[in-house]
Structure 1
């Protein structure tokens, strides 16, 4: 399944690029993510917890992050599995930073996600896309807050908000349903 997102961060490209190179700090802005280790060469281990309706999974996995400083792009290649539920997932993410004015950066993200097991049922029909739209909003708010922090201590305290899984699921479901039926016109009586 392909997920494409774009968002803007109200900071210059160089500032956003430097922030994105601090993977432990970026991971703090990803709802449900926990970074466990860093080998210093772009290889990371961690886990991502997902709670949506009846699905309660914790994916333990690895990721390789390969940045291209000259092009201001990067590749994230990750995979993981949920030992309890038997779900597996892999993701390839390409991100690019583009100047969007003197003090603004447009970030584009193209992800190819493959899910198997019980987690795969949420990939059908665009529900994952709706949930990713909401999670990206939380990610951007956290990044903005970290970049606006005035002290190292203040910046360290800023983390992604806890995901309220039931609310996220129903908000995403409603948005997805509106998208499905929003273009249809009801015949006049």
Structure 2
């Protein structure tokens, strides 16, 4: 399943780029994600948990992350297994940062492959809608992290965006379900028009 999203962060490109190079901070900004080990060389182990009503999955796996400073872009590939439910996931994600007036635009292109019980949600579009909600919360959390750094911070502090960070907000199960249902209804009403 292809997922393409864009969002803007109201901070300058260098500050957003510095944050995106701090993988533990990026993981902390993603609701349900937990980094468990930095294996070095851009390899990380972690867990991503999601719950939709009675269905829950906790994918444990590894990811390889690379970045290209010249193009302000990056690539991540990961695999995970939900040991309790038997579901498997595979992700290939590309991101690009672009400076826009007074902000930074983040473009994300991802290819998510699901197998096992969780795959049935992909057929109904819930995974795609959930991704939109999670990316929206991720953007909010990125802004909260960056807000902890004053705009006129010295270059050394700007390169380390985790200095005295604001705690990112997670997303509650009921809020996630409500947002997904609202997005599905909006999409259905858009088709009916």
* Structure 1 length-normalised TM: 0.90
* Maintained 8 Å contact 1:91/1:114: yes
Partner of 1:113: 112
Deviation at 1:177, TM superposition (A): 2.8
Q: Which of 156, 159, 162 is the matching residue for 2:168? A: 159
* Maintained 8 Å contact 2:93/2:111: yes
- Which consecutive unaligned segments of at least 5 residues does structure 1 have? none
Partner of 1:10: 10
- Alignment of 1:172 with 2:180, yes or no, is yes
Evaluate the alpha carbon distance shift between residue 170 and residue 148 of structure 1 in structure 2; reply closer, same or farther with a 3 A threshold: closer
Partner of 1:91: 91
* Maintained 8 Å contact 2:73/2:94: yes
Deviation at 1:171, TM superposition (A): 2.7
1:24-39 aligned at under 5 Å gives the runs 24-39=24-39
Higher mean C-alpha deviation, range 24-33 or range 174-183: 174-183
Partner of 1:136: 135
Q: In structure 1, how many angstroms separate the alpha carbons of the residues matched to 2:43 and 2:146? A: 24
Kindly provide the CA deviation profile for residues 37-80 of structure 1, in whole angstroms up to 9, marking residues without a partner as x: 11231000000111112211110010000101111110000100
Deviation at 1:154, TM superposition (A): 3.3
SS at structure 1 position matched to 2:26: helix
Q: In structure 1, how many angstroms separate the alpha carbons of the residues matched to 2:40 and 2:188? A: 45
Higher mean C-alpha deviation, range 118-127 or range 91-100: 118-127
Deviation at 1:160, TM superposition (A): 3.5
Q: In structure 1, how many angstroms separate the alpha carbons of the residues matched to 2:34 and 2:187? A: 32
Deviation at 1:18, TM superposition (A): 0.7
Deviation at 1:12, TM superposition (A): 1.2
1:34-53 aligned at under 5 Å gives the runs 34-53=34-53
